[in-house]
Amino acid sequence: MMLIADGGSTKCTWGLLGGPQPLFFATEGYNPYFWDTPAIAASLARSVPAAVREAPIDTIYYYGSGVLSPAKAEVVAGALRQVFPQAVQVQVAEDLLAAARALLGRQAGFAAILGTGTNSCLYDGERITQVVESLGYSLGDEGSGTFIGRELLRDYLRGRLPAGLAEAFQASYQLGEVSEVLDRLYNQPSPNRFLASFAKFAGDYHHEPYCQAVVARAFDAFFAQIVTHYPDYQRCTFNCVGSVGYYFREALAAAATRHGMAVGQILQAPIDGLLRYHELS
């Protein structure tokens, strides 16, 4: 049996192949920049259904955010081997390859992720050939949940949200003093998730011109800072996976059009495409 995982920074979606129907379940996301091997193994032991742990799994393909080097891949692989000792083959690759395989299969083109973070690439049908670095939430991640959430939170803390929205923001998140927010951001785990959690507010209040402008600026920054730096990018269709891209897909498609790209697929998650890819391998 084959276990396939699509791991974001916030959530990981799993699919088990080999039975009459694929079996799906979800766990926390395991970005190895924020998790170590023992913590991942402990979370998996709590979260993976017993039927999956006991299944005769011989192959695992894990695609995840933060898997940017062999050392980071081993952080995750070590945990997988602990939880699934029967697996003969454990392969860990970056989530960007998952996006490309799910969106494009074995066709060449452009693929992106817009979720908690941002990533993108050119893909030749087998491998990633070029990446414009997103640089993470501190330096980049334009168009992501962290980027949108950071702008909303900053404007709230500085008293710049329009009348009515500030009260709604406070009611939604019950934030304390500025010092408490900064402590949560700088001194507690998963600051990227914390920032990205505020992006939902832009979706909940998408009818407000302020929120529309925040989202449009985020996507225009994504194109200006990342997409337009790929050679001949306008010859490719724009293909994307991720919750932020999917829930704001109309604004994202409009940004693609403004930058001269035809829109291909915008999917919420790559897991179905990954299962198809590996079933055909």
Longest dimension (CA), the chain: 59
Q: In the chain, at which residue ranges do the beta strands (DSSP E only) sit?
A: 2-7, 11-17, 23-28, 59-64, 89-94, 109-114, 118-123, 128-130, 238-241, 263-267
Q: Give phi and psi for 17, each to the nearest 5.
A: -105, 150
DSSP-derived letter for residue 33 is T
> pLDDT tens, 43-56?
999 999 988 888 89
Helix axes 95-104, 271-279, angle to 10 degrees: 70
Which of helix, strand or coil describes residue 228? helix
For the chain, the domains span 2-98+271-279
- 280: pLDDT strictly greater than 80: no
Q: In sequence order, what DSSP letters do the residues of 105-130 get, joined into one string?
A: TTS-EEEEEESSSEEEEEE-SSSEEE
Give the mean pLDDT of the chain: 92
At 132, the amino acid letter reads V
> pLDDT tens, 81-137?
999 999 999 999 998 999 999 999 999 999 999 988 899 999 999 899 999 998 888
Given this model, what pLDDT does residue 159 score?
92
Is CATH 3.90.1010.10 correct for 2-98+271-279? Answer: no
- Report whether 18 contacts 1 (CB < 8 A): yes
- 281: pLDDT strictly greater than 70: no
- 75: pLDDT strictly greater than 70: yes
How many C-beta neighbours within 10 Å does residue 160 have? 12
- Of the pLDDT bands very low, low, confident and very high (cuts 50, 70, 90), residue 163 is confident
